[in-house]
């Protein structure tokens, strides 16, 4: 059975065929592949070279489902098992008005469904990378570089995480050819869960890999902070009470001072008279106590006493017990004020050490998270329906489920079909590229068959799920049980697609 929608233009004289699955239009000799390695010339037939991935709900043992992709078996579908056709390896149609490579009818709980799958070519796509660390990686808006080329920038930090925005149409198409190529290679590797080394102008060298701890300046990051300095005080104030007269939690954004903080006041703590540097926001909460860096709490501080501006002799007293700690508990020191009100390093009392260790215990493992973001609201819709805006509306009405490699996606409100997906929820190796340059990603639209007709779907191209069993390069994998079955309707009680 022919299983590829791209059409080859054979040239009997030379055995060269032209791939028309993308605008590059590679001329491929017999036994060779085109520029993206996705298509090849096998005995004069244009062939998608990678397996076409289909997933099935199959109980492994005692009704337990094994993780998606863990078990692979060659060959045919398991008869009767719920089956979902992914876009992985399905191929691409070009120009877009041709029906998508696979439009497959199936049944879910007595409801006739259809899934339209394709390997979409995304010129408009990028990655949002979340790096769980409070260490300084670079100033906001600084260029992120790979092999010297700018592939993105540092964007707004989130709670306990530094954020990068990588890729996007401007880096793919708006700079030099090398910038576009390196950007595409970087996005492809990160999306396929490979490690990428990058540098940030005015910042750190990083190694980032989806689902793995980041490496910052050669150091493996292990802990994501428990919270900002103020939040850390809010959590642990009661546990410190009676064991220390003052606790300063050092943090690049909000450094907390316990006796001034509302938490200390609630505990009737006496003002300790220690004033930290920086700008006082509200009682016990200070901004900009130091510069960002890779020291204590994401600051450049290596000696915590440097953030103490002054000690008020009218309030402080000899013997005052001071704990200074970072928001991960990795750095901590204990001091006692001498007769001159100078902090003297002192061995940490056991009871305080327990709480410092508890800060570490409450940190989560630091990870890098890679979210693929792309616009599917453009011409690829023509492979689904002759009336593309109806597909967009049906997505908006939650009548059409959008998935990538079977993984759930978040679709942004507003116009278009702008989606985001965690690449670690997709099968490994889901992504490809074409040298235009652009990223190729699997996408599936699943809706009721009757709704598919109403939105102007390519009903003539619908084939039954049983018919795909004859495809030689089919790869069947077991479905994981972590997310909703992608072949189910989104709504049971619903409005019409019209």
> Which of positions 413-452 make contact with ligand SF4 (CB under 6 A)?
434-435
Q: Which of 16, 17, 22, 247 binds ligand SF4 (CB under 6 A)?
A: 22
In the complex, least distance from residue 24 CB atom to ligand SF4, rounded to whole angstroms: 4
Q: If binding means CB under 6 A, how many residues of this protein chain bind ligand SF4?
A: 13
Contact 141, 154 (CB under 8 A): yes
Nearest to 204 by CA among 149, 254, 162: 162
Q: Which of 34, 69, 405, 427 binds ligand SF4 (CB under 6 A)?
A: 34
Q: Which of 10, 15, 32, 35 binds ligand SF4 (CB under 6 A)?
A: 35
Stretch binding ligand SF4 (CB under 6 A), from 23-31, 373-381, 403-411, 420-428 = 23-31
- The residue (of 442 and 457) whose beta carbon lies closer to ligand SF4 is 442
Stretch binding ligand SF4 (CB under 6 A), from 17-25, 47-55, 125-133, 480-488 = 17-25
Residues 6+ apart with CB under 8 A from 230: 249, 251, 254, 256, 261, 284, 285
Q: Does 455 bind ligand SF4 (CB under 6 A)?
A: no
Q: Which residues of 313-346 are buried (b: 16+ CB within 10 A; e: fewer)?
A: eeebeeebbbbbbbbbbbbbbbbbbeeebebeee
- The residue (of 95 and 345) whose beta carbon lies closer to ligand SF4 is 95
Region of residue 90 (phi > 0: left; psi between -120 and 50: alpha; otherwise: beta):
alpha
Position with the least CB separation from ligand SF4:
34
Q: Which of 9, 25, 389, 398 binds ligand SF4 (CB under 6 A)?
A: 25
Do strands 474-478 and 52-56 pair parallel, antiparallel, or not at all (unpaired)?
A: parallel
- The residue (of 409 and 441) whose beta carbon lies closer to ligand SF4 is 441
Contact 254, 298 (CB under 8 A): no
Q: Does 19 bind ligand SF4 (CB under 6 A)?
A: yes
Stretch binding ligand SF4 (CB under 6 A), from 24-32, 72-80, 227-235, 484-492 = 24-32
Stretch binding ligand SF4 (CB under 6 A), from 36-44, 216-224, 445-453, 482-490 = 36-44
Contact 140, 154 (CB under 8 A): yes
Q: Does 24 bind ligand SF4 (CB under 6 A)?
A: yes
Q: Does 359 bind ligand SF4 (CB under 6 A)?
A: no
Nearest to 429 by CA among 121, 185, 89: 89
What is the distance between the alpha carbons of residues 468 and 471, in angstroms, rounded to a whole number? 6
Both structure tokens of 287? 């901004």
Q: Quick count: other Cβ atoms within 10 Å of Cβ 12?
A: 7
SS3 420: strand
Binding site residues, ligand SF4, CB under 6 A: 19, 21-22, 24-26, 34-36, 38-39, 434-435
């Amino acid at each position: 059975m022919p299983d590829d929608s791209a059409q080859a233009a054979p040239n009997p004289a030379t055995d060269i065929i032209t791939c028309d699955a993308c605008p590059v239009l590679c001329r491929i000799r017999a036994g060779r592949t085109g520029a993206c390695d996705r298509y090849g010339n096998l005995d004069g037939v244009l062939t998608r070279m990678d397996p076409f991935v289909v997933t099935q709900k199959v109980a492994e043992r005692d009704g337990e489902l094994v993780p998606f992709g863990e078990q692979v078996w060659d060959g045919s579908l398991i008869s009767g098992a719920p089956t979902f056709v992914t876009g992985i390896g399905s191929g691409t149609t070009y120009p877009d008005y041709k029906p998508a490579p696979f439009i497959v009818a199936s049944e879910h709980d007595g409801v006739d469904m259809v899934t339209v799958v394709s390997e979409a070519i995304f010129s408009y796509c990028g990655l949002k990378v979340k790096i769980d660390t409070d260490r300084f990686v670079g100033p906001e808006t600084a260029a992120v570089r790979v092999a010297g080329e700018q592939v993105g920038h540092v964007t707004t930090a989130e709670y306990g995480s530094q954020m990068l925005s990588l890729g996007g149409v401007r880096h793919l198409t708006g700079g030099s050819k090398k910038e576009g190529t390196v950007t595409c290679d970087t996005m492809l590797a990160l999306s396929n869960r490979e490690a990428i080394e990058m540098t940030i102008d005015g910042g750190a060298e990083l190694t980032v890999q989806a689902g793995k701890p980041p490496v910052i300046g050669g150091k493996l990051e292990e802990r994501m902070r428990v919270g900002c300095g103020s939040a850390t005080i809010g959590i642990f104030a009661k546990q410190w009470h009676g064991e220390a007269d003052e606790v300063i939690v050092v943090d690049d954004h909000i450094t907390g001072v316990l006796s001034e903080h509302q938490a200390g006041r609630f505990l009737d703590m006496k003002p300790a008279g220690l004033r930290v540097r920086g700008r006082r926001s509200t009682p016990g909460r200070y901004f900009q106590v130091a510069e960002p860096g890779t020291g204590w709490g994401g600051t450049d501080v290596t000696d915590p006493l440097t953030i103490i501006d002054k000690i008020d002799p009218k309030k402080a007293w000899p013997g005052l017990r001071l704990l200074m700690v970072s928001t991960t508990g990795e750095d901590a020191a204990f001091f006692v004020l001498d007769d001159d009100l100078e902090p003297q390093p002192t061995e940490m009392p056991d009871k305080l050490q327990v709480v410092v260790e508890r800060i570490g215990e409450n940190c989560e493992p630091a990870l890098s998270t890679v979210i693929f973001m792309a616009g599917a609201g453009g011409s690829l819709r023509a492979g689904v329906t002759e009336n593309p805006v109806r597909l967009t509306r049906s997505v908006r009405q939650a009548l059409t489920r959008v998935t990538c490699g079977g993984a759930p996606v978040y679709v942004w409100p507003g116009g278009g079909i702008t989606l985001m997906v965690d690449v670690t929820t997709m099968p490994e190796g889901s992504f490809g590229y074409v040298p235009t340059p652009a990223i190729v990603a699997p996408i599936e639209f699943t809706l009721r068959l009757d709704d598919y007709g109403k939105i102007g779907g390519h009903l003539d191209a619908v084939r039954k799920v049983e018919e795909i069993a004859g495809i030689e390069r089919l790869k069947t994998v077991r479905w994981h049980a972590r997310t909703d079955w992608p072949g189910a309707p989104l709504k049971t009680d619903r409005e019409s697609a019209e």
